[in-house]
């Protein structure tokens, strides 16, 4: 398995952990329950780690699909890549800031972190929306199979590489 094919599962962890971590952090800010403080801390840090992994795997995935991303899909792919880089940097800075606050118990800086975390969660959700648009509207997704899904005006065209594989695939569909 090549690393670019790990991008789809990695991004789901990045999205879920980052947003859940911010929700825990927000609930801690409102309730001051220690369990939420710890849950928010660890979940947010894990989310930041997965955002960085998503950016790395995203670069590899982009190289694998850039040849089929044309027109508006190419522009969206470029935006997705640029926002991924920004998010990785932002989440690393916020994670370091959160660790500092956690270790020093500096409550005065916490609202500043929380504001940045909320903004980052919104950006992560927007980034997920862009990625979903690439996959579900344009069919741009790295695939470990030999089948290439190419968008056309009438839907998607499947390029099986050679006729023998195409016949095998059609035979399996009719069984």
The tens digit of pLDDT for each residue in 128-160 reads 999 999 999 998 887 654 345 555 666 555 454
Number of structural domains in the chain: 2
Asked if 74 and 151 sit in the same domain, the reply is no
Q: Angle between the 34-65 and 72-104 helix axes, to the nearest 10 degrees?
A: 150
**Least confident segment among 77-86, 114-123, 153-162:** 153-162
Residue 72 belongs to domain spanning: 3-142
Q: What percent of the chain has pLDDT over 70?
A: 79
Asked if 174 and 106 sit in the same domain, the reply is no
159 within 8 A of 116, measured Cβ to Cβ: no
In whole angstroms, what is the distance from residue 11 CA to residue 9 CA?
Answer: 6
Asked if 50 and 84 sit in the same domain, the reply is yes
Asked if 25 and 8 sit in the same domain, the reply is yes
Asked if 21 and 37 sit in the same domain, the reply is yes
Q: What percent of the chain has pLDDT over 90?
A: 70
Asked if 53 and 98 sit in the same domain, the reply is yes
Asked if 173 and 95 sit in the same domain, the reply is no
**Is the pLDDT score of 77 beyond 50?**
yes
Asked if 80 and 165 sit in the same domain, the reply is no
pLDDT tens digits for 5-41?
A: 899 999 999 999 999 999 999 999 999 999 999 999 9
Asked if 61 and 48 sit in the same domain, the reply is yes
Lookup: tokens for 17: 């952990």
In whole angstroms, what is the distance from residue 122 CA to residue 120 CA?
Answer: 5
Asked if 97 and 172 sit in the same domain, the reply is no
Asked if 154 and 125 sit in the same domain, the reply is no
In whole angstroms, what is the distance from residue 25 CA to residue 17 CA?
Answer: 12
CB atoms within 10 A of CB 40: 24
Asked if 116 and 104 sit in the same domain, the reply is yes
Report pLDDT for 58.
93
Phi-psi region of 161 (alpha: psi -120 to 50; beta: other; left: phi over 0): left
CA separation, residue 152 to residues 47, 87, 139 (Å): 36, 32, 10
């Amino acid at each position: 398995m090549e690393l670019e094919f790990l991008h789809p599962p990695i991004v789901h962890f990045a999205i879920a952990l980052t947003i859940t971590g911010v929700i825990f952090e927000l609930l801690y800010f409102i309730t001051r329950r220690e369990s939420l403080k710890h849950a928010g801390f660890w979940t947010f840090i894990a989310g930041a780690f997965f955002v960085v992994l998503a950016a790395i795997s995203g670069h590899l995935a982009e190289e694998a699909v850039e040849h089929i991303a044309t027109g508006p899909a190419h522009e969206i792919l470029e935006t997705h890549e640029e926002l991924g880089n920004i998010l990785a940097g932002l989440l690393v800075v916020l994670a370091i800031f959160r660790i500092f606050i956690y270790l020093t118990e500096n409550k005065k800086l916490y609202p500043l972190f929380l504001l940045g975390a909320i903004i980052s969660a919104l950006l992560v959700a927007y980034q997920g929306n862009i990625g979903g648009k690439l996959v579900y509207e344009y069919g741009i997704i790295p695939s470990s199979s030999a089948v290439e899904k190419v968008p056309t005006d009438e839907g998607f065209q499947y390029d099986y590489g050679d006729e023998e594989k195409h016949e095998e695939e059609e035979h399996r569909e009719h069984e």
